[in-house]
Copies of this chain bind each other. A is one copy, B any other.
Amino acid sequence: MSIQTTSTRPLRVGMIGYAFMGAVHSHAWRSAHRFFDLPLVPELTVLSGRHRDAVEAAADRFGFASVETDWRAVIERDDVDLIDICTPGDLHAEIAIAALEAGKHVLCEKPLANSVEEAERMAAAAEAAAARGARAMCGYTYRRTPALTLARELVRSGRLGVIRQVRAQYLQDWLADENAPMTWRLQAEHAGSGALGDIGAHIIDTAQWLTGQSITGVTALLETFVTSRPLAGERAGLGGHGEVGEDVPRGQVTVDDAAMFMVRFDGGATGVFEATRFALGRKNALRIELSGTTGALAFDFEDNNVLEFFDGAGPATEQGFRRILVTEPDHPYAGAWWPPGHGLGYEHGFTHQVVDLVRAIAAGQQPTPSFADGLAVQRVLGAVATSAGDGSRWVPVGG
């Protein structure tokens, strides 16, 4: 934790949306330069939302200097360098493309879009913008959990040999109660899909990134266990984890509650995936296990500072999954924080995302995950939906 003066050149952020993702993104923009040396200093310039009172309160809470009630106004402002899109998925494409065309850098929450078609247009816009110096990044933030970044390094350095099998789960339980209220996340027109796009997208991206392999085909099953939910107001809630009584009117759930799919990767690996919001007792269990020819890795976000590594080298009598506490000074990102064993939390991945994005912008380089990476995930999401809708038949992932 060295004490150094970072640059005083600003990176002026306009954020659109201020719910759960807005809160954690704001924290990251405020904190990154306090712990990392950055070539540009983020400034929270403007926050945008449709309801003036609410957005003003949020701006005050988050530390933004001004507000807008129309996202187009944010893009038009000269004092904004980067647009941070924290809205539901149905707005991603329109905002991102407009921002890129206006020459702004863009950070867009995941999934990149609600359809492959939107994602393709966004990726094309990002590519065109890159030629003009505007950078676009898709927020698959878990890549920057130190334990997963370390996992990627171990794979890349060959410690696992050839990866043969992937098992990935993203288990939550916040909808297990059939009276948990309706939110935009359960409406296809806003969210595109349910568990599939919200959390399934994370394990798809994590798996493709960790293995360095692309998914080439899928067979899938989608299920909606609870088909109606109490209505608690339009687009209510910051995650919608509350509960309401049974006497309120109920709306139709138009997305999946659980998504299960099996895949093949272009490097020869197979994979089993499950994303669900009905795994009672599992709160945020993003789990991934990679089985290679010479090593294996296992991770569970409910124990986010730990990576389990099985090294197949050495005598069999001394082998075992080792619990690496990813808090050492030489671990990814960890040296900027606390001494070993003083763990990090959920939001640190977002801070690291800001760090890498700011550095890429200053260096004139492409940050990752790119919109093309986001599109790659979207194509898998699309294939999953197609397979599930057609008797689970094998569906190749289109290129």
Contact = CB atoms under 8 A, between A and B. Distances in A.
A384 to B, nearest CB: 12
A174 B338 CA distance: 13
A176 B340 CA distance: 13
Nearest to A5: B60
Contact of A338 (B24, B291, B325, B337): B24
Contacts of A307: 320
A328 B322 contact: no
Contact of A392 (B27, B262, B329, B342): B262
Contacts of A360: none
Interface residues of A, number: 110
A374 interface: no
Nearest to A22: B3
Nearest to A2: B238
Contacts of A140: none
A183 to B, nearest CB: 12
A147 to B, nearest CB: 11
A62 to B, nearest CB: 7
A281 interface: yes
Interface stretch (A74-82, A94-102, A296-304): A296-304
A338 B27 CA distance: 12
Contacts of A324: 317-320
A351 to B, nearest CB: 11
A320 B322 contact: yes
A335 to B, nearest CB: 10
Given A260-B270, A262-B262, A270-B223, A283 B327 contact: yes
A107 to B, nearest CB: 19
Given A262-B260, A319-B324, A291 B283 contact: no
Nearest to A238: B1
A291 B325 CA distance: 17
A154 B315 CA distance: 12
A309 B303 contact: no
A227 B68 CA distance: 63
B3 A18 contact: yes
Contacts of A12: none
A313 to B, nearest CB: 11
A293 interface: yes
A260 B272 contact: yes
Nearest to A310: B281
Contact of A343 (B239, B260, B302): B302
Given A167-B279, A308-B320, 5 more contacts: A26-B34, A219-B221, A302-B305, A344-B346, A391-B393
Question: Which 8 residue pairs are nearest across A and B when measured between Cβ atoms?
Answer: A283-B341, A284-B341, A281-B310, A322-B322, A345-B345, A342-B346, A219-B392, A320-B324
